[in-house]
Structure 1
């Protein structure tokens, strides 16, 4: 990925498209680090790059097209995820209506998992899908398009497109980037948006927030997750030196909070400890937040993390039924849960977000009730409880089809932009309970989850709330959060009300 110092090439626009989602948590934007990495590589190789986070700005499709008219790009690259895919198709149609000659390229998870069907069904508007990691593949594609206008790509791995004869072409997969230290640090100035850190929907206005990634991929095969297929079940870390060098730059740029968006930040204890040692050695003063697993919950590691600035950890519990955890192929045990929570608390990490989901294949109502009860009663600051979604690219999707519960080409009703429309099932998410449970079971599951969400800040969680209040008194970080929340009382009331929706 060496920078080219030649002429400026064609113009590239990269867009994180509007989600048009009613989910409150999805309405709180994070820096789309993936397209910023891609934009940085393109920029360093001579291309004129503009990046738009239309989701963060809450722009309409019309506003995105107006922006594109001002930028006048030759190529538009867009992130494609499952939930907002149908809305993305509408945006792509609007872009092509404005300029049929602009080249549309989709990337990210959904464009990787469903590249062939995307091109078959939407190839009149989508010109290419980039499969897998985008830095090298999208750069190679743009270089080809710049040097060979009008000609089909030759020798580029990891792309899917429609040939001039109408045939769908999928080239061999591109190799994974093994040495992540070779990727340039993302140029965050490419994105014009002031991101704020938020916890459980409470936006903290005095923060300046960004995202980082210290590793890619995952060695596990959880049946509800697409990461193992996307990254071919390989975990690739950045070196502690490389991580800390970027973190130092981020701190110098005035950011107060960083969320590491790794799937497995805590996978290797020695790497975490060395990273923390270097953060302290360099005197970097910044709050950072990570995801973790309950089987990677070493007390000394958590203590080192807290000492280096870690303030929040997301822990994936999923279910309190060992049978369900085994269905998820999670490779964790229920008896690890309490120990993980205790070790985080003893280390002093201020906030635990616990991730739970219900609605697994064959999961009983009693198992669901037990999981919900644990989520509500345990010493977790914010339990996040969801009903399981399945989508193309995960094992549970394949299993549901194999069981005869659904077909990937089923015609389903989907809400897009406030209106209902017909779509094929592969183009959207499916609540597994909608195809695997009886109507009465589905209704009871939805009732249980809604009731649990209403109790998050109620007397039912009094013990956890009292413990949380004591931690606020001891922690300057939490006291600052409390001051922010209290100072924005109308917004706070609105957020609390959202938990009852």
Structure 2
């Protein structure tokens, strides 16, 4: 059979590389600042091993938009179309793509997958007649079984589908226990080179080295209220063996990749495993630099010297807040002392760039609490940082809390996501949060310029390799300006019906 694997992106979260930085000249390859679509890259070789032909699409490519894929469907007539996407921000795009392709090929089954699809499988099929099936959870075993049983879908575990107009929700599949059994992802078939960049609103290229992502573990056992990963992974953390990981790294090295980012939800989980991987990188003389994310309370923080020796140059921590009160409210289950120790050790041990993810606009967080998070970032001596608004997504403990408090109607709001400051009366209004952010950024930037001029100069010089002076100024100025909204803020249905733009708030 001929299978189409299509990854659908929100256009707000990728950028075509500026022409002045392009390396490939007249090559047909497109250069995009984004993470590769590792999900469909992982599935493609597995499906081929079952004898099927696979074509991949990534909608970040200018010639892989709806109209181009529609024409390809007309010309090539695939037997199955699979749409993959990450979150609710892409759902309307997925509906549009499905509708267009179903009209073009009404008899071709369309199956979707991804985190949002997994959480909302039944609701999606009731909402969107152009989608035939939802594959829930991991696809490596589900998709081949689905393709082998297109006429007998009731036996495919993890599938939600239609039968005579009724939605059928088959039993869940067990989590895959052996992650070593699958071939390495297909990184060659898409005519796209993905560029290593910072997760910022203004493009900030980190390097023009050949870049890709890897996943060496799955899941996270912790239960932060804003995260859906524990529910999707059923609270389990699973890993590929060091030998399997090193085999893929050797392949990437041989293919010329010189920058790798590990997309693991929590890489810093098991010391012995990290030791084996890092020693393997050193012994094999693998010539790439790499980065990862992890929790500050991991015992594997003690492996940072070895990680640096193995050329780990980027380490991101989920700091979230600079007060114990807010950390506890988010159920982060870590202390300020653990955060300070981990970041200090990372810099002491030679990690080139440490990044801190912060959240602002949490329940019961005050103006002073937000400023304290900025002051805490100063004390941590982070190289880069982001202060994002807390948001609520279906499948997270925070969403369920809002359902129980009557703020969200799960039956009517399931397809939305919310900035918590727009809907929760226990949170500072968005305007006040922005005022706190501006004040905090001023203090933070002032400190970096006056008290850490050498480190600040080095960071700006690093950005300056791939950014114009005007781009750097725009990057530094972006926290202080109100951005034009590309889309209206999501609001619960009860607020929409009452014509409200914010809830009735308690006094602050």
Q: Same fold (TM over 0.5)?
A: yes
Per mean C-alpha deviation after superposition, the further-off stretch among 318-327 and 179-188 is 318-327
1:254 aligns with 2:256: yes
1:177 aligns with 2:179: no
Q: Deviations over 1:108-134 (max 9, x none)?
A: 101110001001111x10100000001
Aligned 1:368-387 pairs, distance under 5 A: 368-375=370-377, 378-387=380-389
Aligned equivalents of 2:206, 2:353: Cα separation in 1: 15
SS in 1 for 2:140: helix
2:453 corresponds in structure 1 to: 466
Residue 451 of structure 1, CA deviation: 5.2
Residue 448 of structure 1, CA deviation: 2.4
Residue 152 of structure 1, CA deviation: 4.2
Match of residue 33, structure 1, among 35, 38, 55: 38
1:391 corresponds in structure 2 to: 393
1:484 aligns with 2:465: yes
Residue 334 of structure 1, CA deviation: 1.4
- How has the CA–CA distance of structure 1 residues 23 and 46 changed in structure 2, closer, same or farther, with 3 Å as cutoff? closer
- How has the CA–CA distance of structure 1 residues 71 and 350 changed in structure 2, closer, same or farther, with 3 Å as cutoff? farther
Is the contact between residue 207 and residue 257 of structure 1 (CA under 8 Å) also seen in structure 2? yes
Taking only aligned residues, the RMSD between alpha carbons, in angstroms, comes to 2.6
SS in 1 for 2:193: coil
- Structure 1's unaligned 5+ residue stretches are 1-9, 146-150, 411-424, 473-477
Aligned 1:159-174 pairs, distance under 5 A: 159-164=159-164, 166-174=165-173
Residue 401 of structure 1, CA deviation: 0.9
* TM value normalised by structure 1: 0.86
Aligned equivalents of 2:469, 2:72: Cα separation in 1: 35
1:194 corresponds in structure 2 to: 193
1:16 aligns with 2:7: yes
- How has the CA–CA distance of structure 1 residues 40 and 498 changed in structure 2, closer, same or farther, with 3 Å as cutoff? farther
1:325 aligns with 2:327: yes
Is the contact between residue 380 and residue 464 of structure 1 (CA under 8 Å) also seen in structure 2? no
Residue 489 of structure 1, CA deviation: 4.4
Residue 434 of structure 1, CA deviation: 1.1
- How has the CA–CA distance of structure 1 residues 389 and 46 changed in structure 2, closer, same or farther, with 3 Å as cutoff? same
Is the contact between residue 20 and residue 84 of structure 1 (CA under 8 Å) also seen in structure 2? no
Aligned equivalents of 1:325, 1:438: Cα separation in 2: 16
SS in 1 for 2:155: coil
Match of residue 143, structure 1, among 136, 143, 148: 148
Q: Deviations over 1:289-309 (max 9, x none)?
A: 100111126554111111001
1:96 corresponds in structure 2 to: 102
Per mean C-alpha deviation after superposition, the further-off stretch among 440-449 and 223-232 is 440-449
Aligned equivalents of 1:71, 1:259: Cα separation in 2: 35
- How has the CA–CA distance of structure 1 residues 252 and 431 changed in structure 2, closer, same or farther, with 3 Å as cutoff? same
Per mean C-alpha deviation after superposition, the further-off stretch among 171-180 and 23-32 is 23-32
Is the contact between residue 421 and residue 427 of structure 2 (CA under 8 Å) also seen in structure 1? no
1:429 aligns with 2:410: no
Residue 40 of structure 1, CA deviation: 1.5
1:475 corresponds in structure 2 to: none
Aligned equivalents of 1:135, 1:439: Cα separation in 2: 41
Aligned equivalents of 2:434, 2:457: Cα separation in 1: 33
SS in 1 for 2:403: helix
Is the contact between residue 294 and residue 317 of structure 2 (CA under 8 Å) also seen in structure 1? yes
**Number of equivalent positions:** 463
Aligned equivalents of 1:173, 1:205: Cα separation in 2: 41
- How has the CA–CA distance of structure 1 residues 299 and 110 changed in structure 2, closer, same or farther, with 3 Å as cutoff? closer
Aligned equivalents of 1:440, 1:353: Cα separation in 2: 26
1:347 aligns with 2:349: yes
SS in 2 for 1:84: helix
Q: Deviations over 1:226-279 (max 9, x none)?
A: 111111111011111111110010011111111000001001111111110111
2:22 corresponds in structure 1 to: none
* TM value normalised by structure 2: 0.85
Residue 326 of structure 1, CA deviation: 1.9
Aligned equivalents of 1:224, 1:375: Cα separation in 2: 21
Match of residue 84, structure 1, among 57, 72, 90: 90
Per mean C-alpha deviation after superposition, the further-off stretch among 309-318 and 18-27 is 18-27
- How has the CA–CA distance of structure 1 residues 468 and 347 changed in structure 2, closer, same or farther, with 3 Å as cutoff? same
Aligned equivalents of 2:74, 2:213: Cα separation in 1: 29
- How has the CA–CA distance of structure 1 residues 48 and 76 changed in structure 2, closer, same or farther, with 3 Å as cutoff? same
1:154 aligns with 2:154: yes
Aligned equivalents of 2:328, 2:16: Cα separation in 1: 28
